[in-house]
Amino acid sequence: MKARIAVLPGDGIGPEVIAQGIRVLHTLAERFGHEFELTELPFGGAAIEACGDPLPPATLSACREADAVLLGAIGGPKWSGPEARVRPEAGLLKLRAALGAYANLRPVTVHPALADASTLKREVIEGVDLVFVRELTGGIYFGEKRRDAHSASDLCIYTVAEIERIVRTAGALARARRRHLTSIDKSNVLETSRLWREVTTRVMAAEFPDVKLEHQLVDSAAMHLIRRPRDFDVLVTENMFGDILTDEAAMLAGSLGLLPSASLGKGRSGIYEPIHGSAPDIAGRGIANPYGTLYSVALLLRLSLGLPEEAQALEAAIGAAITAGARTADIAVPGTRALSTAEAGAAVLSNLPRRT
């Protein structure tokens, strides 16, 4: 097949991990007989430096025209001080909104060989297999922001339609998995959460009666996530709660560097990115973990390009590399030599199937 992929490396470790994603896409194209046209575009801090805009119009239009967007990470201290007039994060929010990418899927699984890389006990995390569905284009991150000399406020607002569509995404996903959906809110305090709970209950009862629905308050969900993570299947929640809980859930897998994400809207296209940020503390040293990016490439192949065999081959190759001990510093066994980002990428390439 022919596919156009817009590649946005971004800042910090973004370009380092994306370089491995590009290698893998080229190799898969060659071995499976596809034509992937990859176009690298400026985005985030790098784009602010180049033209003063974190999402230049040419980058946005290339993303709109592409079959999928592969993104590294954006941001860094250079653009985050209180004096910063334009921030890289503004570009990311604008891109998600412009592409209508309202559903952020974040699968979390624990590779058996990495159970000891987590700070949690092996017996708690072994066998974890859950997916977060985070609402991505509404809530407090997008509501009106105000500031005067004495106060500041961020409006948290959700419409019924916004909740319905994300619950449908989560319900369909749960139906294809273990038929268990946990909806997370703060309905004992927030009006938006009361609406969230009402709409979720209604949509699930009417359209997904075969899926078990459970409601949890965000504070106790945060606790249960590390106490009994195996009990979760699909979790659906609003933008900010999802942002926080998915970083917590990343620690089940052992490192932020392992987890992928897909941000989807109505059509087939989507934005695929590792869940981590630009990691300025390790940027430029070639030691970042590329596996979250490579798992994101697998999601891209499956969900936007409709190539499940290629996606599965890539996931198996990452799994095989990890089993064989190909570990970057964040997941390395103490006392052993950690692989560089490029070496970890090469370990995955060497486990991809040859063309038959």
Out of 116, 121, 145, 219, the active site residue is 219
CB of 115 to ligand NAD, least distance (A): 18
88/171 with CB nearer ligand NAD: 88
162/273 with CB nearer ligand NAD: 273
Out of 11, 53, 67, 186, the active site residue is 186
In three state form, how does the secondary structure of the chain look? CEEEEEEEEECCCHHHHHHHHHHHHHHHHHHHCCEEEEEECCCCHHHHHHHCCCCCHHHHHHHHHCCEEEEEECCCHHHCCCCCCCCHHHHHHHHHHHCCCCEEEEEEECCHHHHHHCCCCHHHHCCCEEEEEEECCCHHHCCCEEECCCCEEECCCCCHHHHHHHHHHHHHHHHHCCCEEEEEECCCCCHHHHHHHHHHHHHHHHHCCCCEEEEEEHHHHHHHHHHCHHHCCEEEECHHHHHHHHHHHHHHHCCHHHCEEEEECCCCCEEEEECCCCCCCCCCCCCCCCHHHHHHHHHHHHHHCCCHHHHHHHHHHHHHHHHCCCCEHHHCCCCCCCECHHHHHHHHHHCCCCCC
Q: Has 231 been annotated as catalytic?
A: no
Q: Which residue carries 């896409």 as its tokens?
A: 25
CB of 63 to ligand NAD, least distance (A): 15
Phi, psi (rounded to 5 degrees) for 309: -70, -45
Task: Catalog residues that contact ligand NAD under the rule CB under 6 A.
Answer: 13, 17, 73-76, 80, 89, 92, 256-257, 273, 276-282, 288-289, 292, 330
Out of 11, 102, 141, 233, the active site residue is 141
CB of 214 to ligand NAD, least distance (A): 28
Q: Has 186 been annotated as catalytic?
A: yes
Token digits of residue 298: 């697998």
201/340 with CB nearer ligand NAD: 340
138/292 with CB nearer ligand NAD: 292
CB of 88 to ligand NAD, least distance (A): 7
185/273 with CB nearer ligand NAD: 273
User: Which residue type, as a one-letter code, is found at position 294?
Assistant: L
CB of 70 to ligand NAD, least distance (A): 13
Rounded Cα distance, 294 and 299, in Å = 9
Q: Has 233 been annotated as catalytic?
A: no
CB of 293 to ligand NAD, least distance (A): 8
Token digits of residue 288: 């970042």
CB of 268 to ligand NAD, least distance (A): 22
186/327 with CB nearer ligand NAD: 327
Out of 67, 243, 291, 295, the active site residue is 243
Q: Has 145 been annotated as catalytic?
A: no
Q: Has 141 been annotated as catalytic?
A: yes
Rounded Cα distance, 239 and 242, in Å = 5
Pairing, β 2-10 against β 35-40: parallel
Out of 94, 129, 212, 247, the active site residue is 247
73/307 with CB nearer ligand NAD: 73
Hey, which residues are catalytic here?
Answer: 141, 186, 219, 243, 247
